[in-house]
Structure 1
């Protein structure tokens, strides 16, 4: 259903979705995201890439569950969010639900990562 990877080298939480969520699936996903965030030692200000290209538009019950389990301060705040989806309808759903001014939507995962890393300091 989804893959969650923490990239400590670039402070990136990298998530890929592979299908539609049910409300129970969202609850399990939220629990895992929160637990792994703590286990991995991440803190607010990380980068987030959510690759939704392997999933369709989410059903309304799932959207409501995302709001309930992850919305309005229930998950640590990222400094930048990049959403990846080629779907015009999914883009509209994301724009309606995720209104952060530090969020951008991309059609390609590589473009999203490039944008996320623009603000990273160069290590000499």
Structure 2
């Protein structure tokens, strides 16, 4: 399950992921994310991915997500939101870009992607 919201004025995409994702859902999610970037003509977008309600995912899904994410247009900043220590470990392996941060809450993620304010270290 996923939900994508676009704030065109700030060139910000906010995604909420939930539940276990199948390989087909990963493919559909990335396809839809790319479609939204094109549709809204986001040339320099920021991305917040909220995985707060997402359990730790299967390794094949993580591999698939990594392969699909490699095809995405580069974001100017990325925040992944989770409080789970296990999810943080999985997210760190998936998002290694220098402009990516893990945050504990959405406001902290927005502060990073919109204003460059570093999140608290956990």
Give the TM-score normalised by the residue count of structure 2: 0.89
Larger radius of gyration: 1
What CA distance in whole angstroms lies between the structure 1 residues aligned with 2:76 and 2:23? Answer: 27
The residue aligned with 1:83 is: 80
- Secondary structure of the residue that 1:53 maps to in structure 2? strand
- CA deviations on 1:25-72 (whole Å, 9 max, x unpaired) are 1111111111122111112x311111110111111111111122222x
* TM-score calculated relative to the size of structure 1: 0.87
Partner of 2:69: 70
Deviations 1:75-120 (A, max 9, x none): 110111111001101111111121111111111111111222215x
Which residue of structure 2 aligns with residue 39 of structure 1?
39
The gaps in structure 1 that reach 5 residues or longer are 120-124
Pair 1:104 & 2:101 matched: yes
CA RMSD in angstroms, aligned pairs only? 1.2
Q: How far apart are the structure 1 equivalents of 2:17 and 2:100?
A: 18
Q: 2:120 maps to which residue?
A: none
Q: Is the 1:82–1:106 Cα contact (8 Å) retained in structure 2?
A: yes
* Structure 2 unaligned residues grouped into runs of 5+: 117-122
SS in 2 for 1:78: coil
